[in-house]
Structure 1
Amino acid sequence: MQRPEDLPAAFEAAWNAHDMEALGGLFEADATFVNRFATFRRGLEEIVELHRTIHETVYRGSVMANDLHAVDLIAPGVAVVHFWSHLTTSQAHPAG
């Protein structure tokens, strides 16, 4: 990634490859993450573990498409990036 605007595509690529090492590379060590269920994780290890667990189970085989919503530059070198994720699940998901 070269710019904050690149985050949605990078997250999408890591998700669709089910590559938790690549996904982890998108976060700083002290990052925070909140998913669609309002599950809060702080720190790179917790964020990766949250995603590893779901990629090994209910989201195995899922496909994500992301759309950039907003980028807010809040300090030099710091941005908040909001994007919408559209997820297509596989047979691994309880809803099929």
Structure 2
Amino acid sequence: MNKSELIDAIAKDADMTKANAGKALDALMAAITSTLKKGEDVSLVGFGTFKVSKRAARTGRNPKTGAALQIAACNSPGFSAGKGLKEAVN
């Protein structure tokens, strides 16, 4: 499912226009993104939790040449599924 298909599904299930469903989806993604930028978690009970993990700097290898290279430290977004989502999928 891509973004436009998700917007269509939201519009149908919530009985709203596609334009309003698109705005709602964009607002949701913006809110999650801005909260993660602050370093905070976003927890949706029954669905899951979005959180930021700090990755330390490390040494990697160029697969083509085998030469060692330094990989910089970074923040990586992640998602862990909640109990309700896990049960719905299985």
Give the TM bin, normalised by the shorter chain.
under 0.3
Between 1 and 2, higher relative CO (CA 8 Å, sep ≥ 6) is seen in 1
Q: Which has the higher helix share?
A: 2
Q: TM-score with structure 2 length normalisation? A: 0.27
Query: Which protein is bigger by CA-based radius of gyration?
Result: 2
